[in-house]
Amino acid sequence: MTTTAASVEWCCACCPSSRRRNSSSRSSSSDNRRRNNRRGSSSISSSSSSSSSSSSSSSTTSKTNSRKSDKTPPPPPSPSPNSPNSQTPFVKVDARVFIVGAGVGTGSIQNLTIRAANILKSADVVIYDDLGVDSEETLSLCGQKCKKIYVGKRGGRAEKNTSQAEINSLLVELSASGRYKHVVRLKGGDPTIFGRLGNEIEALKRAKIKYEIVPGVSSLVASAAAVGMPLTETMRGGKHFACISGHDAKTNPDAFRDLADVDTVVVFMGGKNIASVVDALLMNPTFGSEQAAATTKSRGSKATASSKRTKSTPCAVVRDVDGAKEKRWLGTLGDIVEKTEGEKLSPCVFIVGEICKSATLHERNVYL
């Protein structure tokens, strides 16, 4: 039987040729596996070395960071006392004036704010107004070396009243002298309400002297509190109020006409001429003299027709609020002059408007 190469090549597995081929194939596969294993080992070893170098690097970094964190950074420098970011509000600074409201009440510091008290404690010089019957309790807060200068204005006192021009000059002189670093201008109540503040700050501005205004408890709010009423509300037509000087009743009656549509009017310094103030509020033709007549003519007949106030409009008068001579009256524009007749009303606050219907003459514990 004739056999070809192809038949020999595909002979059964028991054939010697086939065994030789299979053996050669197995050895070739083993060689390939060994080569692959060697390559794998080399790759693993390279990876291990890379990973160990990476962990070593990370370990070094963490140690460095640890050493850095051990060093506590120095605290930020504290601001100087004169720095704008300083948290100490009452430091002494060059050429500085504090215009301070002492609050209301005679002979007592119960309405003096904590801030005002702290400023007084560090004052070098205090220029003060008439704070009532006895100002000693308030002034006792000042240091022993503090210089105190009285410049009050009040009728009936033996001392000569100091003019506003003199006060302005004194403020500038003391502040610019360099002898006093902390100058305090002490006023009763709140300095921003009928306290002649504008004159003094203009003088300081012209002299390029820094100043600061420290508010106080005003007789405006203290008087409303004394008769247990608000100054604004929606129930009794108290959406707005206006303040006016009682002196205007005679000198500038036109100012009262401008308040005809204001719900509530608060009159300061009207105790001595309360009858004229009532006439001005009612827009009676008797209150205005020739100036009022001229104004009425220029505005026409409607000048008096739009007033919200009549003789039945409720009102309240509070004298020396929170002070030793405090007294309160409730009434209407038709009878308040009679109710206060013969009384010395100054200093007082006169509140007029429908909102006064909620006012009461309740018992008050002024000095707790």
pLDDT for 154 equals 63
Q: What is the pLDDT of residue 235?
A: 78
Domain that holds residue 270: 220-287+306-358
Last residue of one domain, picked from the residues 195, 217, 239: 217
Question: Does 233 lie in the same domain as 120?
Answer: no
Judge whether 102 lies within some domain: yes
Last residue of a domain, one of 217, 233, 250: 217
Residue where one domain finishes, among candidates 217, 247, 267 = 217
Domain count for the chain, please give it. 2
Helices (H), 230-326: 248-251, 254-257, 274-282, 289-299, 302-305
Q: Is residue 4 part of a domain?
A: no
| pLDDT at position 135 | 80
- pLDDT above 70 covers a percentage of the chain that reads 63
225 and 353 fall within a common domain: yes
Mean pLDDT of the chain: 77
Are residues 224 and 348 located together in one domain of the fold? yes
pLDDT at 18 over 80: no
Residue 322 domain flag? yes
CB of 318 within 8 A of CB of 328?
yes
Q: Clarify whether residues 106 and 205 are in a common domain.
A: yes
For 64, residues 6+ apart whose C-beta sits below 8 A from its C-beta are none
Q: What's residue 206's pLDDT?
A: 96
**Has residue 152 been placed in a domain?**
yes
H helix or E strand, kind and range, residue 23: helix 16-70
DSSP output for 32-101: HHHHHHHHHHHHHHHHHHHHHHHHHHHHHHHHHHHHHHHSPPPPPPPPPTTSTT-S-TT---TTEEEEEE
Overall average pLDDT of the 176-202 stretch: 93
Q: Is residue 51 part of a domain?
A: no
Same domain flag for 112 and 193:
yes
Contact 11, 19 (CB under 8 A): no
At position 2, the amino acid (one-letter code) is T
Query: Which residues does residue 327 pair with via DSSP β-bridges, in sequence order?
Result: 319
Per-residue pLDDT tens for 149-163? 999 876 545 567 889
Of 171 and 288, the one with more pLDDT? 171
Residue indicated by tokens 């001579």 = 325
Cα 15–chain centre separation: 111
Query: Are residue 228 and residue 342 in the same domain, yes or no?
Result: yes
Whether 274 and 322 share a structural domain: yes
Same domain flag for 261 and 275: yes
Average pLDDT over residues 232-257: 89
pLDDT of residue 78: 52
Asked, for residue 42, whether it belongs to a domain, the answer is no
* The pLDDT of residue 190: 96
Domain CATH code at residue 176: 3.40.1010.10
Same domain, 230 and 181: no
Confidence band (pLDDT; 50, 70, 90) for 276? very high
Q: How far apart are the first and last CA of the chain?
A: 141
CA pair distance 251, 247, nearest whole angstrom: 6
Task: Among 113-127, 265-279, 295-309, name the one with the lowest average pLDDT.
Answer: 295-309
Whether residues 230 and 250 fall in one domain: yes
Q: Is pLDDT above 80 for 300?
A: no
CB 321 within 8 A of CB 341: no
Within a domain: 244 = yes
262 and 190 co-located in one domain: no
Tell me, what's the pLDDT at 96? Answer: 84
Instruction: Check residues 105 and 255 and name the one with the higher pLDDT.
Output: 255
The answer as to whether 121 is a domain residue is yes
CATH number of the domain to which 235 belongs: 3.30.950.10
CB 349 within 8 A of CB 266: yes
Q: What is the pLDDT of residue 110?
A: 84
- For residues 25-44, average pLDDT: 53
> In terms of domains, do 166 and 265 share one?
no
Rounded-to-integer distance, Cα 199 and Cα 225, Å:
30
- Write out pLDDT tens, residues 41-80: 444 444 444 444 444 444 444 444 445 444 555 555 555 4
